[in-house]
Amino acid sequence: MKNKYMFGGFIIVIFLGLMGYLFTQSNIKYESDFTNVINNDKTVKATGSWVKEKNYVVDRESKTFSFYMADENGKQMKVVYDGVMPNNFETATSVVVTGTFENGHFHAKDILTKCPSKYEEQPVQSSSL
Amino acid sequence: MIGSIVLTAALVLSIIAMVMYYLTFRGYKNTLNYARLSYHGMAILVIVGSTLLWHALLTHQYQYKYVYSYSNGQLSTGLLFSSFWGGQEGSFMLWLLLTAIIGIFLQSYSSKRSDLEPRVMAVFTIATSFLLVMVSPWFKNPFEYIWAHPIFINIADISPQYLSMPFLENFFFSDQQGGQSFVRMSTELYSVLSAQGIAVNNFIMDGRGLNPQLLNWWMQVHPPVLFIGFAMATVPFSFALAAMMKNEYKDWIRQAFPWVLAGTGVLGLGIMMGGYWAYEMLGWGGYWAWDPVENSSLIPWLIGVASIHTLLVQRRSQQGGDSVGRYAKTNLILCILTYVFVLYSTFLTRSGVLGDASVHSFVDPGMLVYLFLLIFIGSFILLGFGALAYRWKDLNAKLPEDENLLSRELSLFTAAVVLGASALIVLVGTSAPIYGQSVDTFFYDEMHLPIAIIIGFLNGLSLLIKWKKTSTQELLKSSIFAASASVVLTILIVVLSGMSNIMMIILTLSSSFALIVNTEIAVKIVKNNMKMLGAYVAHIGIALFFLGVIGSAAYSEEVDLDLVKNKPAQAFGYEMTFTGYQPIENNTKYAFNIELKKGDKSYNAAPVMYIAEFNNSLMREPAILSFFTRDVYFTPNGYEEGSSTASGESSVVSLQRGASTEYANTKITFVDFDFPAEVRDAMMSGADFEIGVNLTVESEGKKQNTRVAMQNKSGERLLTAAELKDVNIKIQLSNLDATGNVDLALSSLDGAAIDQSKPKEEIYSVSASIKPFISLVWIGVVVMVLGFFVAVARRLKESLV
C-alpha cells in the first residue's frame, strides 16, 4: 500500500519536474517596451504597432518582409521577418512578433496581426515557418 | 425588441424550472408538472429567439447591431445562416440553443429512469439560466439596436439618397489616415432619423459582412458541431451533481455513460473539423498549431476521454453486487471538470485575456462581461467541488478495497491518469498568457511525445490484460502475436521511410502495437458481437491518428519556389510549371495554375490569391493535391507580373504594393493606393473618379514622395505621369490591375538612354510542402468518432437496466 503511493508520488514529481523544466525552456515573455527588446538577446514576443509612415519592404530575393514597429512610448525598431507579408497586415491594429534582436534589427520568426474588428472572434492569418 | 423580450421571458422560465425541479427533489408532490412545463416553455422561447435572429439576418435588418456587424447583402443564404455564430453574441446564442435542445432530450431520457429527472434537470437548468443571462439585454444580447452604443458606419454602407441630407452633417466623421468617412450612429442620430420618418433599416443599406476567411463551408459546420460538444458536456456535470444530491453513486454511472461517450465523440469531431478547416482553407500549413483557442477546447475533450475509462471501471466493478464500484470519486471529479473546462475555454476565448496570444483575435468584451464569465465559471467550480467536499466522508465510507496490480482496472486508470497529464500540460501552456508568459510550441510537442508512446502501449496492453487479475505468463502468451507483428511493421516502416529519430521509432512501435491488438480483437468479435466493437474501433482510430501525425508532422518537408511562367521547376520528384492565372468566382479571386508532372501522370493545383474588400488585404488560399500516402500542399506567397514592353529608353516595371525597384541609381517604392471610399462609390456609380498611386523616390539619401494616378473622365481612361527634375526621372503610370500591381514606365527626363531594359518575367512564388500520410490523421479521427457512437448504442441499452 505504502509502496504504491510512493511509486505514484515519484512519477508525479518526475512529471512535474520535467514540465517545469520544459516550461522555463520554452517560455517566451511578452515585451511591450522596445528598450528591453533591444538590450536583450533572448527570444521575446514584442508587441507594438506598425509605423505606417515608414514603408514596409517585400524582398522576394531574400524572402523577407521588413517594416518598422513602435511600442507604446513611440520607440521604434526595424523588424525583418523571414517570410511573406501576412494577410491582414495593412489593417492590423497591433502586431506581435516573436524573435530576437540582432545586428541592429529585430529578426522575427513569427508574426501575428490583430484586426480592428470590434466584438469579434475571427481567425487572423498567422504565418509561421 | 421582441427578441429581447423572448429571451428575457426564457430566462424567467428557466429559473422557474430550476426552482420547481429542486422543490420536486425536496419532496413536493405537485411541482414536477410546472417544472416540465417551464423547461419546455423556455426551450421553445429559445428556439423562437434563435429563429428571430435568423430571420433578421436573412432579411438584412441592419437596425440590429449584430446583423450589421456580421452580415451583408453579398453573403449566400448558407453563409447568412452561419453568420448567426459569426460574433460573440451569436455564438453564446448558438451554445444556448443547442443546450436548450439537448435539455429536451435529457428531460425525456431522465424521466424514464426512476427518480433521476428532478435532480438532473435542477442542475441542468442552472446552466441554461446562466447562458440566458449571458444573452440577456444586460450582457451579450444579439438583439441590441445599432444605436444603443455609438458605432461608426462607413458611408459606403449608407444609402446614397440620404447622404446629402443636411441633418446628417453633424454626424460625419473622417479618418485622416485611412481616408475614409463614417457616420456616427447613436441615439441622437436615431431620433433625428425617426423625426424625418426614415427607418434605420433603409438608412443603412449594407452590413460589414464576415471576415473573408470565414466565407466557406466549414464556417457552416464546424462551430455548430463544436458547440453541440460543449452543450453536451453539461450533462455529465448534471449527473455527477445529481448523484451527490441523492448521496447514491451507483446508478448514475450507467445512466451518464452514453451521454459522456456521445458528447466526447461530437466534441472530438468538432475539434478536428476546425483543424481540417485551418489546413484546407486558411493555409496554416498544418491542422494543429497549439493555438490557445484550439487548446482550450482540447482540454475538456481529454478530460472527457479520461472519464470514459474510469467510468468503465466503476461500471464493471459494480457487477454482481451492491458495491458502488471503484474510482467513484475520480469519476465525479472528472465529470465536473469536463464542464468546468468547457467554461474555462469560454472564459479564455471570450474574456480578452488571451489578447496577443492567439491567431484568433479577441477584443475585450467589457468589464461587466468579464466579471460575469468569472462568476459563471466560479459558480460551477463552487457547486461541483463544494458538493464533493460535502459528500467526501460518505464517499470514502462506501469505497471498496484495492485492486490487483496487473488488472485491466488499473491499466484503464493509468490511461485516465496519462490523459489527465496531457490535459494538464495543455492547460499550463494555454493559461500562461494570463501571467504575461507564453510557451513555444515545442513545450507541447516534447511533453506529448512520451505521453503518446505510453498511450499507444497502454491502449494495446489494457485489452490483453483481463479484468480483476492476470498472471504475467498469461499476458506474455496473449501478446506474443501482436508484439512480434508490430515489431515487423515498425521495421518495415523504418526501412521504407528512412526514419532515424529513436523517439519516433518507439512511437511508431507503440502505435503499431495498439493498431494490431485492436484489429486482432475486432476481427475476432466482429461476427458474433457487433455491439461490443466500439472501444476497439475507437482505439484503432487513435492508433491510425498517431501514425498519421508521425508522418505528417515529423516528416513534412517544405521548399520555397519561384516559378517562372512556363519554365518547369523540380521539387519532390514533380516537375512543376506555373502556367498563368485566371479570375474565378465572378472576378473576385485569382487562381494561379500550377501543372505537375511525375512520369506520365499530370496533375493540376491552383492556389488562390485575392484582395479582400472587407479588410483591403491580400488573402491567400492554399491548394492541396491529396493522395493516400501524401498530400502535396501549396501556399501562395506572391506574384510578380512581368512586362515585355521594355525598350531602350523607358523601362516598364511591375510593382506589388510595398515593393521597390531601382532605376538609374534611384530607388522607387510603390507605397499604396490612394483609393478612398468616395472614389469607390464614384467608380461604382459610373461617375468620374481618380485612383492615385503613392510612390517614394529615394536617391543619394534623399527621399521624396510623389503620386501618379489613373483618372476616369466621362468614360475615358487617363494615366498621369510624374516628372522629378532633381533626379532626372519621369514616371509614367502604364497600368494598374485588380491584383494590386501597378506598372510604371520609367525614363529619364532629358531623353538620355539609360541601360535598364531587362525584360522581366512573370514569377509566381509558392511554398510547396509534402505531408506524408496526413490522410491517416483524418481517417483516424473519423474511425475514432465512429467507435464512440458504436459504444453509445451499446451503453444506451445498458442504461435502462
- Complex ipTM: 0.80
Q: What is the DSSP string of B80-114?
A: HHHGGGSSHHHHHHHHHHHHHHHHHHHHHHHHTST
Does A26 contact B362 at a Cβ distance shorter than 8 Å?
A: no
Of A18, A27, A91, the CB nearest to B617: A91
Query: What is residue A7's predicted lDDT score, i.e. its pLDDT?
Result: 83
* Structure confidence at residue B348 (pLDDT): 87
Task: List the 153-172 stretch of B: residues with Cβ below 8 A of A.
Answer: none
Nearest CA in chain B to A56: B658
Lookup: cell for B255 = 445512466
Across the interface, do A122 and B360 touch by the CB < 8 Å criterion?
yes
Res A122: pLDDT: 35
- Whether chain A has a CB inside 8 Å of the CB on B741: the answer is no
Per-residue model confidence as pLDDT tens digits over B228-278: 999 999 999 999 999 999 999 999 999 999 999 999 999 999 999 999 998
Whether the CB-CB separation of B226 and B270 falls below 8 Å is answered with yes
Can you give the pLDDT at residue A125?
32
Residues of A in contact with B442 (CB under 8 A): 22, 26
pTM of the model: 0.84
Residue B617 has what pLDDT?
A: 73
Grid cell 506524408 — which residue?
A: B772
Q: Tell me the residues of chain B between 353 and 372 that have a Cβ less than 8 Å away from chain A.
A: 356, 359-363, 365
- A28, B619: Cβ pair inside 8 Å? no
Please answer yes or no on whether B360 and A124 come within 8 Å at the CB atom: yes
**Residue B560 forms contact with A (CB below 8 Å):** yes
Considering only the beta carbons, identify the residue of B363, B433, B696 that sits closest to A120: B363
CA atoms within 13 A on the CB side of B316: 17
Q: Which residue of B208, B363, B557 is the best one to mutate when testing the A interface, meaning the one whose CB has the most A CBs within 10 A?
A: B363
Rg (CA), chain B: 31
Q: Grid coordinates standing for B10?
A: 426564457
Question: CA–CA distance from A18 to each of A42, B388, B444, B452 (Å)?
Answer: 22, 31, 12, 16
Give CA separation, B62 vs B7, B142, B161, B190, in Å.
20, 12, 17, 13
Would you call B609 helix, strand, or coil by DSSP? strand
pLDDT score at B251: 92
Q: How far is A67 from chain B (nearest CA, A)?
A: 10
Residue of B nearest to A119 (CA): B363
Is-contact B514 B485, C-beta < 8 A? no
Q: HSE-up of B66 (CA within 13 Å, CB side)? A: 29
- Residues of chain B with pLDDT > 90, as a percent, come to 54
Q: What is the DSSP letter of B286?
A: S
Q: Does A42 touch chain B (CB under 8 A)?
A: no
Residues B477-504, buried b or exposed e (16+ Cβ, 10 A)?
ebbeebbebbeebbeebeeeeebeeeeb
Alpha-helical segments (H) within B399-471: 408-431, 441-464
Please give the residue of chain B at the shortest CA–CA distance from A67.
B658
Could you give the 3-state DSSP secondary structure of residue B620? strand
Query: In 3-state terms, what secondary structure has residue B732?
Result: strand
Contact B338, A100 (CB under 8 A): no
* Contact A128/B at CB under 8 A: yes
The closest of B223, B282, B204, B184 to B79, measured between CA atoms, is B223
pLDDT less than 70: residues of chain B: 175-179, 320, 355-365, 400-406, 642-651, 684, 686, 715, 737-740, 750-760, 801
Calculated CA dihedral for residues B112, B114, B118, B123, nearest 10 degrees: -90
Question: Is A84 close to B656, i.e. CB distance below 8 A?
Answer: no
Rounded to a whole number of angstroms, the CA Rg of chain A reads 20
Specify the pLDDT at position B651. Answer: 66
**Within 13 A of B673's CA, how many CA atoms are on the CB side?**
24
> Which residue of A28, A88, A123 is in closest CB contact with B615?
A88
Q: Closest to B617 (Cβ–Cβ): which among A19, A90, A114?
A: A90
pLDDT at B122: 97
Give residue B655's pLDDT: 80
User: What was the pLDDT predicted at B357?
Assistant: 58
Q: Does B439 touch chain A (CB under 8 A)?
A: yes
Cell reading at B73: 447583402
CA distance B545 to B550: 9
Beta carbons of A58 and B669 less than 8 Å apart: no
* CB-nearest partner of B428 from A19, A60, A126: A19
3-state secondary structure of B614: coil
Q: Is A12 on the interface with B (CB under 8 A)?
A: no
Nearest CB among B356, B361, B616 relative to A30 is that of: B356
Residue B589 pairs in a beta bridge with B584
Q: What is the pLDDT of residue B266?
A: 97
Distances (CA, A) of B390 to B142, B247, B387, B394: 39, 10, 5, 9
Concatenating the DSSP letter of every residue in B15-37 gives HHHHHHHHHHHTT-SSSHHHHHH
Per-residue pLDDT of chain A (129 residues; tens, 9 = 90+): 567 778 888 888 999 999 999 998 888 888 888 888 888 888 888 888 888 777 788 776 777 888 889 888 888 899 999 887 776 677 777 888 888 888 888 999 888 877 654 333 333 333 323
Taking CB atoms and an 8 Å limit, are A124 and B91 in contact across chains?
no
What confidence tens digit (pLDDT) does each residue in B177-226 have? Answer: 556 788 889 999 999 999 988 999 999 999 988 888 888 899 999 999 99
Q: Which of B225, B294, B299 is nearest to B263 (CA)?
A: B225
Cα atoms in the 13 Å half-sphere on the side-chain side of B617 = 22
Asked if the Cβ–Cβ distance from A30 to B436 is below 8 Å, we say yes
Q: What is the largest CA-CA distance in chain B?
A: 104
| A105-114/A76-82 β-pairing | parallel
